[in-house]
Amino acid sequence: MRLDGRAERLRRRWRARSLANVWAFPQDWWVPAVDAVVEALAKPADPLPALGQLGRSRAEAGVGIEEALDDLGTLSGVLGHRPEHAGLVRAVAVGWAEVAVAGRAGWCQDPFTQLTTPDYLATRLGEVYREASRVGIPAEDSHALVVVGLDRVEPGADRLVRQLVAAECLRATFSGGETLCAAGPGHVVALVVRDHALSPRIAVLRELLAEQLAASHPARVWRECLPRHERLVSPLLAELAR
């Protein structure tokens, strides 16, 4: 595609900023959808279809959602952080998910956050309850859920980005053998062992979230006790999935 002068300048500035800040391999940055995006923005025209294609192209190339959105963030910076940035994020994220989800059918990993799925968490909880029955220690005494709630944020691209940030904070805090789960659009969860280190780690998680998320929409963090009976796990996970 031969671009006009405005689109070419936009592409050049976007590429330079992305390579300087977020993109590791220069030869992999350009895809045809890049030209479609800058052409739409330069006209101006509706860029959302081109951004959806950009998201699909990134997923097909094996680019993760965070890198794809970081790259888009550099474009937003070049554009001067236009008000419609949230819509741009959503278009790329939805396009990316169309490919990623289709390619990962049956996986135990959430394609957006790279955390495990609720079904996998349910399986792990079943194992915890069976082990509890075997050793004679109630599951609610040996394990707990640490929950990060993002449900104060309205559905949309902003909540998606915040969920990604929350997932990274959870991963940084619980970096051992804990099961980390994207329980629903408003919650990420860690299945953890109840020990003397748990309270300090929850405090660290709160600090990380406070640093990374806007003060106007703070995330809530709490310790959720496991139900006494395994049959009550499904209602709990259904509540977290909302």
In a domain? residue 108: no
146: which strand partners?
190, 223
Query: In this structure, are residues 144 and 194 in contact, taking their beta carbons and an 8 Å threshold?
Result: yes
CA–CA gap between residue 211 and residue 171 (Å, rounded): 15
Choose the final residue of a domain: 46, 77, 103: 103
What pLDDT is recorded for position 107? 61
Cross-strand pairs, 88: none
Residues 124 and 205 reside in one and the same domain:
yes
Tell me which residue range forms the domain holding 230: 118-240
DSSP 125-145: HHHHHHHHHHHT--HHHHEEE
- Alpha-carbon separation of residue 188 from 17, 99, 238 (angstroms): 32, 23, 13
* Whether 60 and 136 share a structural domain: no
Q: Check residue 96 and give its pLDDT.
A: 85
Give residue for tokens 């789960």: 181
pLDDT at 184: 85
Number of domains making up the chain: 2
Distance of CA 4 to the CA centre of its chain: 36
98 and 122 housed in the same domain: no
CATH of the domain at 193: 3.30.70.270
pLDDT per residue of the chain (242 residues) written in tens, 0 to 9: 577 888 999 999 999 999 999 998 888 999 999 999 999 998 888 999 999 999 999 988 888 887 888 899 899 888 886 545 667 888 888 888 778 766 554 567 777 788 899 999 999 999 999 999 999 999 999 999 999 998 655 555 566 778 888 888 999 999 988 999 999 888 999 999 999 999 999 999 999 898 887 665 678 999 999 999 999 999 999 999 87
Give this prediction's pTM.
0.63
